[in-house]
Amino acid sequence: MKSTSETKRLRPFVRRFVHRFWRSERGNVAIEFVIVVPLLLLVLLGFTELYLYMRAVSIVERTAFTLADSIGQMQQVIDDTSTSNSNTLGSIWKAATLIAAPNTLQAKGGVVVTSVCDQTTGCTTPLTTPAQSWGAGTPQITWQRKAPWAASGMTSRVTSTNILPKTWPFRSGDSAIVVEVFYTYTPFAMTAPFWTKAPGTQTIYTRVYVRQRDGQPLLLKAAS
């Protein structure tokens, strides 16, 4: 009987203890911190990585379009790696590295410039007739040059069998310039020390086609 009475006296204390333990909010902040903060860091890392990738793609595209627009206004390019003249290949390569900043194009990228002319005219006939009277031209590569600092794997995708897109109208006597820009991008570079199985590097590639402003094939002049 004595033990029964003691049990009855202890029941209220046990109930209050269980009730207080069940409704206690101590430690909730720590638990929420452990759960929420890693998720927030993961989201922040994801947005940061997405921004860096989109910025790299945007810079590569801007470099290609700016170079193509500039070269399209030239009448000739000097086959010289120096920067003594604004029309030298060296000046074109230098301009590419400046446009691509802050990306280090010279260390992680490449540039290829290809001049295209109409094979049926011998690459010498200017455009003198209205566009509606032009016949179809046959594109051929006049010359092609790659930046000397471009990596060996960054080879041009413009070949004798793949010069211009089929949807790009090329008329008799026409000419064009093709600018290709490569950039080696390393995703998740910030987490590489902790994530050994992170995706490897990938090459961002952009190709731009423009017509010569004066309608003449862009010639490559030997350095004097």
List, for residues 178-220, the tens digit of each pLDDT value: 999 999 998 877 666 666 666 778 899 999 999 988 878 888 9
Please state the domain count of the chain: 1
Contacts of 37 (CB under 8 A, 6+ apart): none
User: Which residues form the domain of 84?
Assistant: 28-222
Distance CA 38, CA 32 (A): 10
Cβ count within 10 A of residue 127: 19
Whether 130 maps to a domain, the answer reads yes
Whether 36 maps to a domain, the answer reads yes
Predicted confidence at residue 115, as pLDDT, reads 94
Predicted confidence at residue 144, as pLDDT, reads 95
pLDDT tens digits, residue range 11-66? 666 666 656 655 655 656 667 777 888 888 888 887 888 888 899 999 999 999 99
Residue pair 222/145 in contact (Cβ under 8 Å)? The answer is no
Whether 22 maps to a domain, the answer reads no
Predicted confidence at residue 4, as pLDDT, reads 62
Whether 16 maps to a domain, the answer reads no
Contacts of 180 (CB under 8 A, 6+ apart): 64, 110, 111, 112, 113, 114, 156, 157, 158, 205, 206, 207, 208
Give 122: exposed, middle or buried? Use CB within 10 Å, 0-12, 13-18, 19+: exposed
Predicted confidence at residue 157, as pLDDT, reads 93
Whether 13 maps to a domain, the answer reads no
Whether 10 maps to a domain, the answer reads no
Distance CA 92, CA 168 (A): 25
The sign of the dihedral angle between the CA atoms of 155, 158, 159, 165 is positive
Whether 154 maps to a domain, the answer reads yes
pLDDT tens digits, residue range 78-119? 999 999 889 999 999 999 999 999 999 999 999 999 999 888
Whether 17 maps to a domain, the answer reads no
The stretch 138-157 carries a mean pLDDT of 90
Predicted confidence at residue 5, as pLDDT, reads 63
Q: If pLDDT is split at 50, 70 and 90, which confidence band does 1 have?
A: very low
Give the total residue count for the chain.
Answer: 224
Predicted confidence at residue 201, as pLDDT, reads 82
Question: Do strands 109-118 and 175-185 pair parallel, antiparallel, or not at all (unpaired)?
Answer: antiparallel
Residue pair 143/220 in contact (Cβ under 8 Å)? The answer is yes
pLDDT tens digits, residue range 159-181? 999 999 988 888 888 889 999 99
Residue pair 155/172 in contact (Cβ under 8 Å)? The answer is no
